[in-house]
Chains A and B, each alone.
Chain A
């Protein structure tokens, strides 16, 4: 029973990381129709920047977290502004393909830049907090807390502010939103900044628990894509529930079924869900 609770708790924590990345991906995807693979590499770069800020400059963890979020946001913003935006005016199918291809290329690019600059050797992120509660270190609990705070911020931003309203309008009907005077360039910039910041935050939060290495972004990216589909695009709460649920199922599957296939369960869940409920668990906005 103790193992069960411990493993479920760990799943909860890793699931909240998936959910953070997925939230950014989901907002970007629902507005621009780009499954932005590149977020997986912003995740890596943000983690490295935070690592160097902590080890070389000795800044406190919270500053490193903000720094990582800024790095993710700036990279994400620039990629949209200088690359994805360029193809938006093309016919739909061509635009969709080109943007997807570009996202994959960017993912390759930054992951390999990290590999070339800092080698594939994993770097140990120094612990910033000691002690534990009920078998979970404070650092793990912080991941969950930070994820909840970020989700609340995004929820309030999307639902209670004016730019949030513009984002919701654009995700429902892009053409109509433009007709009504919403500047779609600004909306795109905002969603990409949010996405990048969320990926960066997820990366920096998880780094002290594991370590920092060039391929660290692969699995969170894959899982986040599953979560986006499971959540059925749109609903912020749905993403959180699906992300955390996936994390817990995976963690439990690892001890009760087989740990070798731990990263395959998401596929089985995804396939079952798509067959039974192709609209996603929580439907569209």
Chain B
């Protein structure tokens, strides 16, 4: 059974590595979007899939990271290689500040609060014109500086950079959820009161899961900023947060692999429907409802069923 998974993983990896050589630059752009969204959903899964609370503000952290990194390189002339970790850490700390009060709330209270936090951050991106230039968009962001003699002005080099970061992030998350700390996180999802009763510092673990998830979204945002080199507040509006939730749930949360597959599938479906911009979200919503009717656990549930699981 495991070998099937490994072969599938290997095929996907080889395919991803080959994309810039076999496909047009348009496909490469779509693939970059798919990888970025995979990173977002995978980091989102750490909080919602493993720790439990349903959150609707992932795009806010994504945007915070993107703007931090872009502004650091634009205003202070900092190198991308320094701006990337700094924006990751900044968003992580921001996650602590937001997560500490917000995570005292449970269930729908928390969900709706994050929803509004997402919207609030969008308003900040839109209205802090001195920094973000608001609805005009922040342009002229430099591409990553060359390092080890690799020049990042070409699309292919940028693609590999993002792919490598994607693999690193997924690897990190995989190691994290399979560590002892990962089991602490899961214990909160399964029974928060019991976990607390047996001595788990649930408040700390939850805030950590929230902040790490946020920090990783910030790093993804930094990669986004330096790849597309143009930021606009609507990219980080609540629609994007919803999209991340939907992608993760379509794939099947709490599995790490599910959300990544979900992100890939949804990105490609949405791109394939570019021919009919008006119908795009209609077809997409109908597809989503159809998936829910067939298997509410998402694609992961469909695979489990095909392979003879429950």
Residues of A within 8 A of B (CB): 29, 33, 35, 83, 86-87, 90, 94-95, 97-98, 100-102, 104-106, 108-109, 112-113, 115-116, 222, 225-226, 228-229, 258, 260-261, 263-264, 266-268, 270-271, 274-275, 278
Contact = CB atoms under 8 A, between A and B. Distances in A.
Nearest to B297: A94
B176 interface: no
A86 B115 CA distance: 26
A105 B117 CA distance: 21
B108 interface: yes
Given A94-B297, A226-B116, A112 B285 contact: yes
Given A94-B296, A275-B101, A116 B282 contact: yes
A98 B301 CA distance: 13
Contact of B117 (A100, A267, A278): A267
Given A87-B296, A261-B123, A261-B127, A112 B282 contact: yes
A15 B128 CA distance: 27
B54 interface: yes
B286 interface: yes
Contacts of A97: 54, 249, 296
Given A106-B289, A116-B278, A263 B246 contact: no
A43 B237 CA distance: 21
B97 to A, nearest CB: 12
Contacts of B242: 104, 108
Task: Please classify the interface of chain B as helix (H, G, I), strand (E, B), loop, or mixed, using the class held by over half of its residues.
Answer: helix
Nearest to A116: B278
Contacts of A98: 292, 296
B104 A86 contact: no
Nearest to B128: A260
Contacts of A268: 120
Contact of A109 (B102, B105, B108, B282): B282
Contact of B289 (A94, A102, A228, A266): A102
A270 B113 contact: yes
Nearest to B124: A264
A35 B113 contact: no
Given A98-B296, A100-B54, A104-B242, A35 B117 contact: no
A86 B54 CA distance: 22
A275 B104 contact: yes
A96 B48 CA distance: 13
Nearest to A79: B289
B2 interface: no
A222 B123 contact: no
B112 A106 contact: no
A101 B246 CA distance: 7
B282 A264 contact: no
B113 A271 contact: yes
B9 interface: no
Nearest to B253: A97
Contacts of A258: 127
A268 B113 CA distance: 10
Contact of A264 (B54, B120, B280, B293): B120
A267 B115 CA distance: 9
Contacts of A104: 242, 245-246
B279 interface: yes
Nearest to A117: B278
Contact of A106 (B117, B120, B285): B285
A100 B54 CA distance: 10
Given A35-B111, A274-B105, A264 B123 contact: yes
A190 to B, nearest CB: 22
A29 B107 CA distance: 13
Nearest to B52: A93
Contacts of A106: 285, 289
Contacts of B296: 87, 90, 94-95, 97-98
5 contacts: A225-B115, A228-B112, A270-B112, A274-B102, A278-B109
